[in-house]
Structure formats: C-alpha cells, structure tokens
Amino acid sequence: MPDELMLMQPAGCYWVTVQRQEDAIALARQVMSAQSAVTLLSSATAPQELLTPPLTSGPDRIPMYSLPQTNRALLKLNKDFLRLFSSSTNPQLVLFYTEVSDWDKLTSSELSEWLKRIKSVLKKKNISLLIITYGRKIISLGDHLHGLFCYLNGFSCLEYQKDNWKYRIHWWYNATRLLADRQLALNFEQNRFSLMKQDERNTPLTLNDEHIFIAERSVLEGAPPLSNQWQLQDSNEQVYAQAEGADSATVIFSLSHNDQTGGLARHIHRLRSLRGAGLKIVVREMEVGQRQNDERLLLACGVNIIVPFGTSLSRFLIMLEGLQGQRYQRYVPKDFSVLRKLQQPLRQKGFMSLEMFCHTVTLLMNDPLLPENSKGVLVALTPVSQLRAEQALTLCKTRRNGDVFTVMDNRLYIFLFSCNLHDLKTALASIFPLPYDEMFSDRQVWCEDLPILSEIRLMGARVPHAPSITAAASAPKTTSTPPVPRRVPHRIALAQSKGADK
C-alpha cells in the first residue's frame, strides 16, 4: 500500500471501521507488527488476545490497557490519557481496538465532544491515535463520523466482498497531503492485507460509470445480464456495497415485502448522502405494491423512481432508459431518524376498543405532518348473515403499524393508515385469509379527512358510558339512621287569667 495512504501525522486522530471481527483483529495485528513502538488499548476484548499468537515482528514490548465497555469509562478516556502518557518530543502511537456497540452508547453530540477532548490531549502529549472499530452496525457509526471531519484526520473502512476486500478511504491527512475518495482492492495472504495487482488498485470512487447498471438479480425476472454494463448481485446488501463505489451509475434495488422498506430506506439515504446527486437509484416492486407512506419514505431518502408491481420487463427497461442523464434535484435531510419518525407517526396495530380506536384515528387525522386527504382509508364492513362481526374479527390479521380495527353495531371498522383508495382491495386481501367478498355483504368507505373525522365523531358518541347508578349499585350497602329533624323554637303568647290582675 502506498505510504501516503498509511502515514499518520503526529497528534492526529484516525478511525478505521471494519465489518468483520476477524478482519479487525488481522488489521490491528498488522499495524502493531509494523511499528517500532505502540501502546495497545482495547475495550472489545482482552488486549492479550490480540497478541495471541505472538507477533513475528514489531516492538519487543507493547504496553497493554483494558477499558471497560461502559459509557462512563469511554467519556473519561481523555483524563486517563493525561495520567498514563507523558509529554514527549517523539510521536507516540496508541491503537484503540473497539466494538461498534461501545459507540452506540454515545449520542451524536457526546461523540463530537469526546473527539474534541481527545484531540486536545493528543496535541498536548504528541500522540497519534488509531481507532479500529468492528461490527455489523458500522453503517450507522459511519454516518456520524462523516459529519466529524474537523475532528478526524482520517476516516476509512474495510469491507469484505466475496473473495477480496475493499478498503475505502473517505479522507486521510498525512501532514503533507489530504487524500479523499479512494478505493483499493486488497488480498489477504499469510495473515496480512496486501494490494491486488497493479491494474486494480487505488481506484478513484469517481469513475465515469454513468452507463453501468448495478442491480439485484431478481429485477430482470430471471433474464441474464443484458450487456457487459450490467452487474447483477444476489441481494440488496451486495447492491448497496457495490454502489458505495459508484458515482453516476444506475442502482436498482428489489422490494419484495413491506418489512424490507426500513432497511432499504436506510441504505438509499446513506448512498444519496455519500455519493451525491449523480447516482440514479431505482426501486422495483416485486410483490404487492407498497403503501403511500412507504413510497414517500423511499422518495424522501433519495430514490429517483419506484417501479410499480406488475410493470412488464420491457416497460421497466424503457423507464430506466428515460432516467439516463438525469440528476437528483430534491433535498435529502441528513438525519435519517427524523425521516423515519415522520413517516411512521403511529406504532400501534391490531384490535382496539371503540374508545381507543376513535382517539387514535382522530390523532392521525389531526397530524399536521401528514399529507391532507392522504392519511388513510376508513372501511366499515357488514358481515353476511351467517357471520357475526366478532367472528370476522378473529380472521383480521394486520401486519403494518397504523392499521387498526374495532367492532360496533355488528360492523367491523378498519382504518388502513397511508392507504390509497385504489389499493383498498389489495390491502383487504392481505388482511383476510379468506376472500373478503364472501365474508361481508356490505362495505362503506371514507377516504378524505373531513368525512373520516365526521364518521369517527359519530362513532365516538356511541361509546358506552357507565351510568352513575351502576357505581352506586355495585358499592356495598350500609345501613344508616335517618337524620333527626331539628326542633325549631316558636314564640307562644300565654293568656292571663282575671285573678291574676287583682
């Protein structure tokens, strides 16, 4: 690997994220074996385990420290550095081996403040700090680190892809040059990472790839790659990993179930944030169509187009052709959690009491963040004569947050959150295991805000309230003596006898 991509400046802070634990251990051992002096600090495992078996090269003595996996220990690390290390004119290297869960304990503001304090200590003690973090959730950590350019002298990631490794350098400052946007293909031989052959290494991420299609295999419905420009992958995760090195390619994800929406939206949001407006991102629905809110989430995260379920392959290819040459124009918020929260205002589903049902639907209808007259559909279903609403209730299986139902007057009321009127039949078919047309004799539908609110108010007026005598009747009977009427004095005039006058 070229020296310019490995050198670290004195008093610098560098961070490398690694997907797999075995790769992180191998990288840490390789770094230590290349040093004349290094201090090892580990919170993910006992530091002795990183030196087993013993290194074949490197310093004769390596000071080792273990850090507890607690929030408090991590936040006080700058004070530990002040106590452990003395100021020196010679640069000192500290390798900090961590797991991604260690950093999950810190908020974004705490992480930036932690780096700020550490940088101050590194400068005082003339220390270079290399943090190696491994774990499956490094994508979320990477999102935070991208916003901390002012505190990090270098940030890169090592990812395993089939039979080789991709080393992506987001930025790396080596005291003489600032390098950014680089990708290297690595081999792992004899317990060391090394560059692949000359023609494959040090590949800029910004290649002219506008005619390349990176697609999940199922979007072509079993057809082989249409040309050498098509790169088919076996999963959306592989599509995402390949697209991280693209600049203006067409990236095509498949969507087979509603449960995939959240993870797919996170991938798309990160791709759009990192790779910019040139990337053309497409989602093709392979099964039943998505709800309005799911589509809004994907579009808000940076999708160019969503290809509806049922679109023919020829029509799909024409849509891709029309997408070429375009650039994404809409604004994408940096914080994915904000988007996710706005798109899922309700975390409840299933049966509710009549009172709770009315309260929940009213809250959704009055939510100013949801689009007007597109918040959902209210359906009242009257069962056939052989079936009671309570029996039909047992067959109602909702899968999405926001889909709630209740029973009133032998009718089943269902509110389908973020459902279009033209998707109602599809939604009902997914809720009931039996044909709903055979279960219900009548159906009434409300799809706009005011009619839904009006019907909910009428339903709320029917909520049974216990009469006051019920509580009195249920209370234990007590015998009490009736109050004695109070005597009121009256003025009486007495008649005087004649004898008394004498």
**Cβ atoms < 10 Å from Cβ of 474:** 8
Q: What is the pLDDT of residue 341?
A: 66
Strands 440-446 and 376-383: antiparallel
| The overall pTM is greater than 0.85 | no
Q: Across the 502 residues of the chain, what is the mean pLDDT of every consecutive 10-residue run?
A: 75 93 94 93 92 90 92 92 83 93 88 94 93 87 84 91 80 82 83 71 56 94 90 93 88 88 90 87 84 81 92 93 87 77 72 92 81 86 88 83 88 88 85 86 91 92 54 41 57 55 44
**Cβ-contact 182, 204 below 8 angstroms:** yes
**pLDDT at position 480:** 47
pLDDT at 207: 52
For 213-341, CATH number out of 3.40.50.2300, 3.40.309.10, 3.40.50.720, 3.30.70.20 equals 3.40.50.2300
Using the structure block, give the residue that is written with the tokens 């079936």: 387
Burial class (CB in 10 A: 0-12, 13-18, 19+), 364: buried
- Cα(194)–Cα(252) distance, integer angstroms: 32
Ordered DSSP codes for 430-466: HH-SS-HHHHEEEEEEE-SHHHHHHHHHHHHHTS---
The answer to whether the CB of 130 falls within 8 A of the CB of 150 is: no
pLDDT given for residue 424 in this prediction: 87
Homologous superfamily, domain 3-204: P-loop containing nucleotide triphosphate hydrolases (3.40.50.300)
Please report the pLDDT score of residue 369 as a whole number.
Answer: 63
| β-bridge pairing 376-383 and 404-408 | unpaired
